[in-house]
């Protein structure tokens, strides 16, 4: 378009859906609402918990599985319930540590075409099933007083960065987010430091404090206890919807 041409723009032809959109899709909203209601009614009764994330593919003989059991055991002794995604691997390990210690063991299961089936260590009255990932994420976040992230895959990274974003943007109450397993996490943290922070300036220096790394179950508990020793009044659900 030149300066002498009329200021008119040809309207583009919009793409069309490949199939007819049925009115019944609007009813999906009520399925979502029912999942929120079930989750709120169950989790409101439990008390302060820690959400533990990690791979569904980690086998019981793996050191990270054994540490998942120990971390949950230590947190349960410190008075926290344990929330996991309810499946196998690290999730099973954390539920096992809670169950064997007599603590609250919560499983937030998701319907998937592979991998996911609930583990045997979830309290029967705290075993929830979700169809929608975003509803499940709300439950993970709203009722957790801290997050412990063990090694995992895309799902674990998704959950980690979701929580980091919510804390960074003050959408939820600040809380400990602890990466367990330095051999697994140091490379990622180093990239965040050197590329995201120092090279591209896409985050603030203080954001690095959000992701401490440890290899000690005792240190996990200490970080959480030290945090709430100064903020005991903040032990409550993270936000109002």
Region of poorest pLDDT, from 23-32, 130-139, 157-166: 23-32
Answer whether residue 1 shows pLDDT above 60.
no
Average pLDDT for 96-109: 96
Supply the pLDDT for residue 215: 98
Q: What is the mean pLDDT of the chain?
A: 90
Helix spans in 26-146 (H): 28-43, 63-77, 90-100, 133-142
- CA of 176: how far to CAs of 52, 136, 152, in Å? 12, 20, 19
Does the pLDDT of residue 115 top 60, yes or no? no
Per-residue confidence band for 198, with pLDDT thresholds at 50, 70 and 90: very high
Domain positions in the chain are: 32-229
Per-residue pLDDT band for 231 (boundaries 50, 70, 90) equals: confident
CATH 3.40.50.300 fits 32-229, yes or no: no
């Amino acid at each position: 378009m030149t300066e002498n041409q009329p200021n008119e723009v040809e309207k583009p032809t919009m793409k069309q859906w490949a199939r007819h959109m049925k009115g019944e899709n609007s009813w999906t909203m009520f399925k979502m609402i029912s999942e929120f209601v079930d989750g709120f009614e169950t989790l409101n009764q439990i008390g302060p918990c820690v959400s533990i994330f990690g791979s569904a593919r980690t086998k019981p003989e793996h050191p990270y599985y054994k540490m998942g059991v120990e971390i949950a055991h230590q947190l349960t002794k410190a008075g926290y319930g344990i929330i996991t995604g309810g499946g196998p691997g690290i999730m099973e390990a954390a539920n096992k540590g809670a169950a064997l210690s007599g603590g609250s063991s919560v499983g937030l299961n998701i319907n998937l075409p592979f991998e996911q089936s609930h583990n045997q260590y979830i309290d029967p009255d705290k075993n929830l099933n979700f169809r929608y990932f975003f509803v499940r994420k709300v439950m993970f976040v709203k009722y957790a007083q801290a997050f412990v992230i063990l090694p995992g895959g895309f799902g674990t990274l998704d959950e980690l960065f979701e929580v980091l974003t919510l804390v960074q943007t003050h959408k939820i109450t600040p809380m400990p987010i602890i990466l367990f397993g330095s051999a697994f996490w140091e490379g990622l943290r180093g990239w965040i430091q050197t590329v995201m922070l120092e090279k591209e300036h896409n985050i603030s220096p203080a954001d690095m404090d959000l992701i401490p790394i440890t290899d000690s179950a005792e240190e996990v508990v200490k970080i959480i206890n030290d945090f709430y020793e100064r903020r005991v009044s903040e032990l409550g659900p993270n936000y109002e919807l």
